[in-house]
Structure formats: structure tokens, C-alpha cells
Amino acid sequence: MARSAVWAEFPGPSKNFDFAGDKLKKQWPKLHKGDCEAFPDAGVVKAQLGKQAKDADGIAEQLQDAWRAFHRGDFQQAFEIGQSLGAVGASVACKAGGIHADYLLDDDKAKLSRYELLMQLAEEASEALPKVANAHYRRAFAIGRFSQGISIAKALKQGLAGKVRESLDATLTLEADHAEAHTALGLYHAEIIDKVGAMLGGLTYGAKAAVGEKHLERATKLTPDSPITWIEYGNGLMLLYGDKREDDAAEAYEKAAKLKPKDAMEWLDVQFAKSELE
């Protein structure tokens, strides 16, 4: 398969994140503590697709290969396999496409186009798999990233904030300990308050600083060894409180920078945290 120029290669040590064969299943609980993704074996595929799972073993193998690609930093392969599998592959496709866009896609127009595509994939998945937490979480992630790309102010006018909140609430109803969803919900409160103020944010969108901080803190308790948890905790504090919590935010970034990455995504997170401290 031809490699697209839009998919810049992972600049880190892919060989350090090799999860071939049984390694993937063995390390899965650590790799997916933050997003509560179920290990994609045939049983999970059958549970998600029901009667449509005509080749559950084959689909499971493809999903596992997609996640191996994601964890070693081959985001294009992970995305393409996931996209080819429809709703059941949307989770890995959205995570791979999103992380790549966040860190390795420089062109703003291309980045926005990527998030639009991820929004479409996630929308279809959330409709097809309403009982799967990450079908809702990836929708919230994609809409959230797209919203940041067009500006939070425009996103609020377009009603996108409500869709993000709806999807995050659905995620946490299905998976109460979904750390990434807690982080995202904390940032939801923080970004709205930062943009429109505490009073309007509270009255119009139900955004509250204390609630936002509570969700961000919950994520740090659930995944204290996740770099992105601390990065976003620091970001959230700065959005909510500005210079008053600058020291706490810097401490959070320092924690992120000192963590040992478990996969390619976390390697990128750690490099970002280090760059912010320079």
C-alpha cells in the first residue's frame, strides 16, 4: 500500500514498542488503562457486531494488528486497517488518526480535514455501537479536536459543545473509570470557562471550575503513569485559573516529562511535555 505524504512517520524508537504475538495481550491492561478499550478478541467482536460478525476471528486478528501498528507508531497502517473494518474498527482508526494529527501533521487545513473524517467515522460508530464506551468517546475526541481547530468560540456557536458533552456523559455512564473521558470532560469545563467566563459558562453550558478540576484530578488518580493525563491536567489548570496555578501546571508537566513511555503515543506525549519545559 502506498504511503501518503500526509502521514509523516513516527520519529521515535518504534523498535521499543514492539507488541508482536502474545505481547499485545499481555501488555494490554497497561496500554489501555486510560481508554478502557476491550482487548479485541473474537468474543468482543461477536459481542459488538452480533449477527454481523461472520468472521469474528479474522476481524479480531485485523484489529489486533491495527493496535500493534498504533502502539509502535505506524499510525497510517492502524488508521487504514481500522477504517476498513467499519464501526468495529473506528476506535483504533480515530485514535491513530487523531494522535498523528495532533503531533505529526503540521498543515492546519489538512489537520482540520482529518478531524472531519474522524468525526464521520466516530458518528457512524456511536450509532452502530451505542453500548460501546469508546464509540462515544472517540466521537467526543474528534469533535473536540475539530472544535479547537476552528476555535472554541465558533464551535460554541455551532452547537458542538453539546455534542461533546453528550458523548462524554455517555462514555462515563458505560465506563465510570474511563480516565481519558474524565480528562476530556475536565477540559470541556475549562475551555468553556476560559472562552466565555465562569458566569455565562455556568448558566449556558453547565461549565463549572470545581467540577472541571475534579474530573482532571480523577484522571490523575486513575492513570498516574500516563503522560497525557498530567499534560492535560496542567493545561486545564491554566485555562481555569491562569497564573494563579502556574506552578501547579509546571509541576504537572514535569511529572509527564519524567514518565517512561509505554508506546509511541506516550513517547510523543513525553517529548511534548519536555519541549514545554524548555
* Grid cell at residue 48: 459488538
CATH number of the domain located at residue range(s) 19-166 in this protein: 1.25.40
What pLDDT band is residue 3 in, cutting at 50, 70 and 90? low
Alpha-carbon span 235 to 190, nearest angstrom: 9
pLDDT per position as a tens digit, 26-65: 999 999 999 999 999 999 999 998 877 789 999 999 999 9
pLDDT per position as a tens digit, 144-174: 999 989 887 888 889 899 999 999 999 999 9
* Grid cell at residue 134: 469508546
Q: Under 8 Å CB-to-CB from 34, ≥6 apart: which residues?
A: 178, 179, 180, 219, 222, 223, 226, 228, 229
HSE-up (13 A, CA, CB side) for residue 44: 13
**Model pTM?**
0.94
Please write down the long-range contacts of 22-25, taking CB distance under 8 Å and 24 or more positions apart: 24/64, 24/67, 24/68, 24/71
pLDDT over 50 (residue 255): yes
pLDDT per position as a tens digit, 68-102: 999 999 999 999 999 999 999 999 999 999 999 99
- Is-contact 129 135, C-beta < 8 A? yes
Same fold, 19-166 and 177-278: yes
pLDDT at 157: 87
Spans of all domains in the chain:
19-166, 177-278
pLDDT over 80 (residue 1): no
pLDDT over 50 (residue 105): yes
pLDDT over 60 (residue 2): no
pLDDT over 70 (residue 21): yes
Q: Is domain 177-278 in CATH 1.25.40, yes or no?
A: yes
Please report, for residues 99, 125, 137, 188, the alpha-carbon distance to residue 141 in angstroms, rounded to integers and kept in the order given.
10, 13, 6, 11
